[in-house]
Amino acid sequence: MSLWRKIKGELIDIIEWLDDSRDTMVYRFERYDNEIKYGAKLIVREGQAAVFVNKGALADVFPPGTYTLQTDNLPILSTLQGWKHGFESPFKAEVYFVNTRQFTDLKWGTRNPIMLRDPEFGPIRLRAFGTYAIRVSDPGTFIREIVGTDGHFTADGITNQLRNLVVSRFTDVLAESGLAALDLAANYDELGDFVAERIRPDFQAYGLDLTSMLVENISLPPAVEEALDKRTSMGVIGNLGAYTQYQAAQAMEQAARNPAGGGAAEGMGLGMGFAMAGQMAQGFGQAAQPASPPPPPPPVAFHVAVDGQTTGPFDVNTLAQQARAGQFTPDSLVWKAGFEGWKRAGDVPELQAVFAQTPPPPPPPPPTS
């Protein structure tokens, strides 16, 4: 190191970091021989944290603010240095500025398709991609676990590992959800929230906080998408017979407008006309045939309780005969499929006609003279 840099480092009494990049996560403040003057000014701006490291050991962490570096606001470093009362000489320590703002629009995506068993299509392969955002929530842990002694650490140094974590957890959540492929688009937000909850403890172990997790797209293989498009087209067309007739009529119109085609065109048009006429005649013939009536509904049957025993089932006609014989009365208990329990026969609407046909009891004989 040149003499000028040494002299300049000894004259430094303000420790600060102005970041003009968008991807720097940690920056080590550079000065000669790591010497800091006692009473120097430390300026930590919003979105930053300053971490002091002494001989490889994590010491004091400063949130945003302006500080005069003395033993009273460097308690851990004072203990590590073993300073005595009245210490005023320069001291050695590494200062790392940690960027605590959000790092957004970080990409994730599946390098290889995800093999799943779809409830509708069977075994399928899916690809997915999206974005996520992070911020440093614990500067000390982040330096200890990730940065180490790197003097200029950028987001590129951690995004590959984080992307692998996101894809692994997303694959597990997607497989456990059991959602059909055609229903995934309606659950992007829910999938993103589930993955965020599952993966947040992994990020916290690195001193990071996962602030957002977005699923942008989940896609099928091109061959499957092509087959799905054909299936959708068939659904849009609807009646294939009517569509074929329409296409034949269009072809006939085109042939009629093309007299240059000569006899071949006329013959082709005539042949298609006969074919279409046959289809129309067949359609008219099917329409002219009377529709066969549907099968009659099954007769209603009732069970009857007699002396504590279940008898039957009996149809309405049989019950009418029993009513005329006096064996079946409105107070008899009946049950049929759909009843929650036994009911009085006189309270069942279907049996009202049975008792209406029953003659009243005969009048008493006239008195004898």
Q: What does the mean pLDDT of the chain come to?
A: 79
Instruction: Assess whether pLDDT exceeds 60 at residue 265.
Output: no
Lowest mean pLDDT among 28-32, 52-56, 75-79, 275-279: 275-279
Count of residues making up the chain? 369
Token pair belonging to 182: 């055609």
148-162 pLDDT, tens digit per residue, is 888 899 999 999 999
Of the ranges 131-140, 151-160, 220-229, the best mean pLDDT one: 131-140
Element (H, E) at 261: none
Token pair belonging to 152: 């200029």
Instruction: Assess whether pLDDT exceeds 90 at residue 100.
Output: yes
302-315 pLDDT, tens digit per residue, is 888 888 888 878 88
Q: What residue ranges do the domains of the chain occupy?
A: 3-99, 103-220, 301-356
Share of the chain above pLDDT 70, in %: 75
Would you place residue 32 in the very low, low, confident or very high pLDDT band (cuts 50, 70, 90)? low
Q: Write down the pLDDT at residue 2.
A: 55
Query: With contact defined as beta carbons under 8 Å apart, do 176 and 197 qualify?
Result: no
* Average pLDDT of the residues in 135-160: 90
Q: Is 218 buried (19+), middle (13-18) or exposed (0-12) by CB count in 10 A?
A: buried
CA distance to 24, 29, 135, 357, per residue, from 101 (Å): 10, 19, 6, 90
* Average pLDDT of the residues in 131-147: 93
Q: Write down the pLDDT at residue 287.
A: 47
Topology (CATH level 3) of domain 103-220: Tetrahydropterin Synthase; Chain A (3.30.479)
Higher pLDDT, 175 or 295: 175
* Average pLDDT of the residues in 67-95: 68
CA distance to 138, 223, 230, per residue, from 98 (Å): 10, 48, 54
What residues have CB less than 8 Å from 77, skipping those under 6 apart?
52, 54, 59, 60, 91, 93
Element (H, E) at 223: helix 222-237
Q: Write down the pLDDT at residue 88.
A: 58
Instruction: Assess whether pLDDT exceeds 60 at residue 127.
Output: yes
* Average pLDDT of the residues in 140-146: 91
For the chain, the distance separating the N- and C-terminal CA atoms, rounded to the nearest angstrom, is 152
CATH of 301-356, picked from 3.30.1490.40, 3.30.70.260, 3.40.50.280, 3.20.20.80, is 3.30.1490.40
Q: Write down the pLDDT at residue 361.
A: 62
Higher pLDDT, 80 or 13: 13
- The domains spanning 103-220 and 301-356 adopt the same CATH topology: no
Would you place residue 4 in the very low, low, confident or very high pLDDT band (cuts 50, 70, 90)? very low
Instruction: Assess whether pLDDT exceeds 80 at residue 133.
Output: yes
Token pair belonging to 49: 């944290």
Lowest mean pLDDT among 227-241, 268-282, 318-332: 268-282
Strands (E), 78-189: 91-92, 94-99, 103-109, 114-118, 122-136, 152-154
Instruction: Assess whether pLDDT exceeds 60 at residue 82.
Output: no
Q: Write down the pLDDT at residue 323.
A: 82
3-state SS, residue 49: strand
Would you place residue 1 in the very low, low, confident or very high pLDDT band (cuts 50, 70, 90)? very low
Q: Write down the pLDDT at residue 167.
A: 93
